[in-house]
Structure 1
Amino acid sequence: MRIASDAISFLDTVLDRTIAPGYSRVGFRMRKRHWPDNDPRPESMRGRTALVTGANSGIGKATAAALAGLGATVLLGVRDLERGAQACRDIQATDPDADVSVVRCDIADPVSVTECAATLAHRLSRLDVLIHNAGVLPDTRQETAEGHELTLATHVLGPLLLTELVAPLLGAATDPRVIFVASGGMYTQRLAVDDPEYRESPYQGVTAYARTKRMQVALTPLLAAHYAPRGISVSSMHPGWADTPGVATSLPGFHRLTKPLLRDAAEGADTVVWLAATEPTPASGHFWHDRRSRPEHYLRRTRYSDEQAQRLWRYCRDAIHPASDQPS
C-alpha cells in the first residue's frame, strides 16, 4: 500500500513539473482516479453561504453551480447584473433547486466593493466562503479612477479590500474560508514589488496578469496569518489550463493550439470547490492545484524575501486605504 501511494505521489509530482500534461485535462483525469468519490460530501455545503466574484461565466460560474449543487446558498458577485442574472438562470436550468442570486460587485472599483460589502452586511448574518475569481487581461495598460493599474486593482487591491470589509461576516461563521483563484502563469514571474503598478516597465497584458497572480500567491501566507485570530482560513490555487470564454478571448492563439488538451470549466473549478467544501479544512496559507499543496516556485529567479512580500503587503494596504482614509 505504501509503495502504491508513493508511486501515485511521484506520478503527481512528475505531472506537475512537466506542466503540459499536468495542467491539461490529462493531468486532471489521471489524478481524479485516486480521489475519494464522496469528497466533498453530498450536501456538505447545506446551510452555508458563499460569494463567488466573476461568476458570470467560466470557472466562476462552474464554481457557483458546484457549490449550489452541494447545498450552498451562492451569491454571484458580478459587475454586470444582467449577465449575472443570466448565469443564475443557466445554473437553475440544470439544477432547479440551486439557491443562487446576484450581488453587484465591480471588484476593481472600491466604491462598488464597499457597496457590495454593505449589501452583504444587510442581507447576511455570516459569510462562510469568499472566492476571489474575477479577472481581467487587458491588451494595454489601463488605470482605474483611483489611478491604479487595472490588473492590480482587479486581482489584488479589490480582493484585499473586499476581504477586509466582509471579515466580520466571515468571522461570524464556524469555518470561514477565503480562496484566491490564481494562475500557473505566476510561476514565470518575480514579485514586482518595485513596480507593482507597471509604471516603469513596458506593459504586456499577459505578463501583467501573471505578475498579479504571483502577488496573490505571495500574499496568501500573510493574509492567513493576519486573519488567523478570527479563525479565517486563506488559500490560493490555480486551475490548470481551462477552456473558458476569458481564455478564448484574451489568449486566442494559446486557445487554438491547446484546445484539445484544455480542461472544461468544471474541471478547472474542482480544486476551488474542494477547498471550499472538503473536511477537515485544508491547511491555511498554502497554494493548491488539483487538491494538493504545491510549491510556490519552480524557478530560482522568481524567489523573493519575506521583507519583499511585506513591502508589497504594505503598499497594497496603503493603496486601499489612502492617507485621508486610514482606519484609526
Structure 2
Amino acid sequence: MSLLASVADTVLDRTIAPGYSRLGLAARRRLAGWPADPPRIDGRIVAITGPTSGIGAAAARDLAALGARVVLLARSPERAGATRRSIVDAVPGATVDVVECDVSSLASVREAAAALREAGPLDALLHNAGVMPPAREETDEGLEVAFATNVAGPFLLTALLADHLAADVPGRILTMSSGGMYGQALDVADLQHERRPYKPAAVYARDKRAQVVLNELWAARLRPTGVVCHALHPGWADTPGVADALPGFRKATRPILRSPEEGADTLVWLAAADEPTRSTGRFWHDRRPRPTHLLPRTREAPEDRAQLWRGVAAAAGVDVPVPGAA
C-alpha cells in the first residue's frame, strides 16, 4: 500500500463514522493496495457460530461459494435448516452441515465440540455469535447470559477444539468483536457484570474487549502448533441484532450501514486468504490490521490479562494454564 493510500486508510479508521460505514468500505476498495479477494478453499471445513442471520449467514454462504464445507453451529436446528437450504439454493453443490450448539450453554458447547471432533479435522473455527440482552439475566448454569455467549462459551469451544484444527493449512480461529470495544477497558473484577448498573451497550463493549485480549492470549498459546488466531470488527452493519438491540442507532445511521455481506467481508477474507496465516493475534477491520487501543484509559496491565484468562477459564469449567505462565 502506498503512503498516500495508507494515510487515507488510517484517517478513515480513526474518524469512525465514515470508516465504519459502507462509505468507508467503498472508499477503501478504491485505494491502491486493497488486498486481493480470497482464493477458493475447496474441501476445507469451516465451522461458524451465529450462522442463521446477518453477518453469520452471509459469511456462511460466501464461504460455501468459495468451496468450503460449512458447519452451522446453531442454537435452533430449525433456523439452521432454513439457512442451510438457502445456501444450497444459492450455491449449487454446496456442502453444509448443521450441529446444534447454544454457545451460552457450556453443556451444549461440549456436545457440539464432541460432534465436530468426530467429523474430522477443522480448518477454521469462526466465533460469530453474540448477544446484547436488555437486562442482566443468568443461564441455567448460573452464568450471566451476555458473558456466557460472548466470552465463556467461545473460550470453551476453542479450548476443546484447538488441538483439532489442522496445522498444515494452517488452522484458523477467528473472533468477531466490535469497534465498540475501543471505548471500554477490561473489568476483571466484574466479568459477569454484577457490580455496576447494567447498561447493555457497555456490557457488550466490555465483553468485546475481553474477546480481543483473549484472542491475543490464545495466539500466544497456540503459536507453536501453527494455528493462527485473529479478531476483527465488521464496521456498522444492518443486521437483526442491531435492529433489536440498538433501534435508535439503526434509525439514525441506516442510510450508511453496511449490508450483512459487506459486514462479513473481512471475516470471509480472514478465513480463506493466505495473508492472515503470516501472523497471529491481530485485530482486523476491512482486511487490514488495526490497533487494539485508541484511548490510554482502556489499556490493561499484564496481571489483568492473566486474571481475565483465569476467570474465564474457571467460568467455562476448563483447566487451561495462562499462556506464558511458569
Q: Identity over aligned residues, as a percent?
A: 49
Counterpart check, 1:244 vs 2:235: no
Q: Residue 301 of structure 1 aligns with which residue? A: 297
Structure 1 residue 39: Cα displacement: 2.2
Structure 1 residues 109 and 292, CA, compared in 2 at 3 Å: closer, same or farther? same
Q: Residue 24 of structure 1 aligns with which residue? A: 21
Counterpart check, 1:177 vs 2:175: no
- Once the two structures are superposed, residues 214-259 of structure 1 have per-residue CA deviations (whole angstroms, 9 ceiling, x without a partner) of 1001111111011112211110000000011111111111111100
Structure 1 residue 273: Cα displacement: 0.8
In 2, distance between residues paired with 1:220 and 1:18? 25
The one of 279, 284, 297 equivalent to 2:280 is 284
The one of 37, 40, 52 equivalent to 1:39 is 37
Moved over 4 A (4+): 35-38
Q: Give the total of aligned pairs.
A: 319
Alignment check: 8 A CA contact 1:239 1:271 kept: yes
Q: TM-score, normalised by structure 1?
A: 0.94
Q: Residue 324 of structure 2 aligns with which residue? A: none
Q: Residue 213 of structure 1 aligns with which residue? A: 208
In 1, distance between residues paired with 2:205 and 2:88? 33
- Once the two structures are superposed, residues 132-163 of structure 1 have per-residue CA deviations (whole angstroms, 9 ceiling, x without a partner) of 00011100001112221111111111001001
Structure 1 residue 327: Cα displacement: 7.8
Please give the secondary structure, in 1, of the residue aligned with 2:196.
coil
Query: Where do residues 249-264 of structure 1 align in structure 2 (5 Å cutoff)?
Result: 249-264=244-259
Query: Where do residues 62-211 of structure 1 align in structure 2 (5 Å cutoff)?
Result: 62-124=58-120, 126-171=121-166, 174-211=169-206
Alignment check: 8 A CA contact 2:109 2:156 kept: yes
Alignment check: 8 A CA contact 1:243 1:263 kept: yes
Please give the secondary structure, in 2, of the residue aligned with 1:179.
strand
Alignment check: 8 A CA contact 1:275 1:282 kept: no
Please give the secondary structure, in 2, of the residue aligned with 1:287.
strand
In 2, distance between residues paired with 1:219 and 1:173? 23
Structure 1 residue 171: Cα displacement: 4.4
Please give the secondary structure, in 2, of the residue aligned with 1:223.
helix
In 2, distance between residues paired with 1:123 and 1:177? 17
Letter in 1 for 2:204: Y
In 1, distance between residues paired with 2:44 and 2:119? 14
- Once the two structures are superposed, residues 72-93 of structure 1 have per-residue CA deviations (whole angstroms, 9 ceiling, x without a partner) of 0000110000000111111122
- Once the two structures are superposed, residues 247-301 of structure 1 have per-residue CA deviations (whole angstroms, 9 ceiling, x without a partner) of 1111111111100000001110111111111114141001000011101111111
Q: Which runs of 5+ in 1 are unaligned?
A: none
RMSD: 1.6
Please give the secondary structure, in 2, of the residue aligned with 1:313.
helix
Please give the secondary structure, in 1, of the residue aligned with 2:99.
strand
Structure 1 residues 145 and 98, CA, compared in 2 at 3 Å: closer, same or farther? same
Alignment check: 8 A CA contact 1:181 1:239 kept: yes
Alignment check: 8 A CA contact 1:171 1:230 kept: no
Structure 1 residue 168: Cα displacement: 2.6
Indicate the larger mover: 277-286 or 261-270: 277-286
Q: Residue 225 of structure 1 aligns with which residue? A: 220
Structure 1 residue 106: Cα displacement: 0.4
The one of 302, 309, 316 equivalent to 2:312 is 316
Structure 1 residue 172: Cα displacement: 5.5
In 2, distance between residues paired with 1:96 and 1:57? 20
Structure 1 residue 321: Cα displacement: 1.9
Q: TM-score, normalised by structure 2?
A: 0.94
In 2, distance between residues paired with 1:308 and 1:122? 36
Q: Which runs of 5+ in 2 are unaligned?
A: 322-326
Structure 1 residues 259 and 231, CA, compared in 2 at 3 Å: closer, same or farther? same
In 1, distance between residues paired with 2:224 and 2:320? 19
Please give the secondary structure, in 2, of the residue aligned with 1:138.
coil
Alignment check: 8 A CA contact 1:128 1:174 kept: yes
Please give the secondary structure, in 1, of the residue aligned with 2:135.
coil
Indicate the larger mover: 15-24 or 304-313: 304-313
Alignment check: 8 A CA contact 1:321 1:327 kept: no
Letter in 2 for 1:135: G
Alignment check: 8 A CA contact 1:128 1:173 kept: no
In 2, distance between residues paired with 1:79 and 1:282? 33
Please give the secondary structure, in 1, of the residue aligned with 2:313.
helix
